[in-house]
A and B are shown apart, each in its own frame.
Chain A
């Protein structure tokens, strides 16, 4: 069993839909990160969380330390949101990623 698991592995949505990606982890952590990787390779750090909730534009990330679970939400999804979303916890452990495709 991986120490960081994400679900779903693949996700398709219509433009405008609300999207949720989940991340569960089994190790004690100081921080959890959500990363976005577009086709071609570039990785962008979206959020770093150690508690509660953060919002940036249409993106919202939440974390529940007791339940060892985090979610990434995308409101009003857009085709440009199509990417792989990766959850990572400190000690540099990465989840397997969620591949999101948003269709117009």
Chain B
């Protein structure tokens, strides 16, 4: 299984809602990533988990809360988002190493905040 799956594919939420994005991989990767991508821009790294521990947080607002409950799952909890948070949220995974390893990306969740 060489796939990263993400659910839901699309999400529309109000600014007072609480929702979660889910990401799953079964490739034995111990590094997992969340990216945010606005239209016509490259992905921006948000968080990196290594061995289920948060290793990089790129100064992301606290309304985004990541969670890695086990080595196969990565969640992103959303609360009190703003319309400018509307974007494609991509999850990726890779083997860990001393160099940037090949990342396998999920199809993304397209989030709209009303």
Chain A residues in contact with chain B, CB under 8 A? Answer: 30-31, 33, 35, 40-45, 48, 50, 86, 88-92, 94-97, 99
Contact = CB atoms under 8 A, between A and B. Distances in A.
Contacts of A50: 99
A33 B107 CA distance: 19
B90 A45 contact: no
A92 B100 contact: yes
B103 A45 contact: yes
B105 A44 contact: yes
Given A45-B102, A90-B100, A97 B107 contact: no
A90 B37 CA distance: 18
A31 B95 CA distance: 14
Given A92-B45, A96-B41, A41 B108 contact: yes
A92 B103 CA distance: 10
A45 B100 CA distance: 12
B99 A96 contact: no
Given A90-B99, A92-B45, A45 B88 contact: no
Nearest to A30: B99
B42 interface: yes
Nearest to B44: A94
Nearest to A91: B100
B43 interface: yes
A89 B45 CA distance: 13
B77 interface: no
Contacts of A35: 105
A41 B99 contact: no
Given A41-B107, A43-B43, A96-B42, A33 B99 contact: no
Given A31-B99, A43-B90, A89-B100, A95 B107 contact: no
B45 A45 contact: no
Contacts of B90: 41, 43
Interface in B63-103: 88, 90, 92, 98-103
